[in-house]
Amino acid sequence: MDFYQLPLAIGSATVLATISSLAAPADAFLITNTSSSWDNAVLSNGSIVGSQGLAAPSFSTEFLNVGRESQVRWGDGVYAPDFEWQEVTKAVEDIEVSSYKYAAGTGSNGWYWDYNQRDWDYGYLKTNKRYYQPTNYRLVEKTVTEQVKVSLPAYTAKSGLGFAGVENLNVGAGDFFNIGTLKHFNETIWLNGKDAKKVDFALNLNFADAALGAQTFDFALNIDETKNSQAVCPYQTDAGKGCSDKITWDFAIDSAKSFEYNGEAYTLELVGFTDQALSTQVINRSEFQSSGATFVEQFISQEDGTSATSLWARLIKVETPTEQVPEPTALLGLSALGLYVIKSRRDRSAFAS
């Protein structure tokens, strides 16, 4: 998958200052686990499925928990779900025989080997058949691994998004950390108005500190479900496949949510996606720069398959300004000092940086 460079997020609402705290974080947080939930899928037919609209499932949209992964699925799949091959390991009992006793005859009872049950049984001996009674045997357990067909549930033919969190993060203020894995299930669906254009995405952080407990931060992800029949695909597309899709977020910081710790207010900032392997789940700014890795804000997903990427975030201090918020032109100058203006969830109008 290809990504593009991450631009500085500048919107209109709250000023968040991160100047000195990012360079030398003084506060550390132990996050026991992260998770997510999905809500309010905005479909191309104008409908909203979720708490602010129609109840799910509706218009083929459903919210699921598959193992430890939360999912939202949408659309009518062009291809019906089939099956997949899975390896199944099972233990079977066999009989190890060291000696036999011959038994035969008509109309007599005795031991015989039941080929259906794979076991010795005592019963009536059939005419003109030879059977053997073990005089010294033991049961032997054998492990057998075989490939079996496993039917797939109907939702696997739909497109969608999934998120699986992580556990046991020791994070300093300003540190970049892998908050979990985001997946895009890019199945071929009919563009009949049931494809999702946007969906609410809540990230949950459970802190070991009982005073902090669980904190939830709300975001929104945009989905560009492209038409596969286009002559020229808008995003990088692998040869022989339909046009790839794009996932982006609506804003990088939930300006309405923060929590207090040691007299300071903190909030969560989404930093970007990366498919590059890093040696640790938590990394500070200087270590990240020296690693040569990059963060990007767009997740490009190829058609007819599942793509996955790591989602990175950081906890930053929030400073509420005491003076009037500067005009947009002044904010552009402040951005070089590390100040961010974040989109309000009520006023999404934005200007280019």
Cα-based angle 244, 247, 252 (whole degrees, multiple of 5) = 160
- Which pLDDT belongs to residue 18? 35
CA 216 distance to own-chain centroid: 17
- Which pLDDT belongs to residue 112? 60
Tell me which residue of 323, 176, 188, 173 sits closest to 258, measured CA to CA: 173
- Which pLDDT belongs to residue 279? 61
Enumerate residues 6+ apart whose C-beta is below 8 A from 90: 143, 144, 146
Q: Where are the domains of the chain?
A: 13-82+152-343, 85-150
Q: Any bridge partners for residue 286, and if so which?
A: none
Q: Is 16 helix (H, G, I), strand (E, B) or coil?
A: strand
d(CA 242, CA 229) in angstroms, rounded, equals 7
Mean pLDDT by 10 residues, the chain (353 residues): 33 32 59 97 97 96 96 94 85 64 53 62 54 61 83 93 95 92 93 95 96 96 90 88 91 91 93 75 75 81 90 88 42 31 31 26
Residue 333: what are its φ and ψ, rounded to 5°?
-70, -35
d(CA 245, CA 197) in angstroms, rounded, equals 11
Q: Helix H segments across the chain?
A: 19-23, 285-291, 328-334
Tell me which residue of 39, 31, 41, 10 sits closest to 313, measured CA to CA: 31
Asked whether 171 and 31 are in contact (CB, 8 A), the reply is yes
d(CA 83, CA 71) in angstroms, rounded, equals 20
For the entire predicted model, the pTM comes to: 0.68
- Which pLDDT belongs to residue 21? 36
- Which pLDDT belongs to residue 38? 98
The percent of the chain in helix, strand and coil, each rounded to the nearest 5, is 5, 50, 40
- Which pLDDT belongs to residue 206? 97
- Which pLDDT belongs to residue 121? 65
Asked whether 256 and 218 are in contact (CB, 8 A), the reply is yes
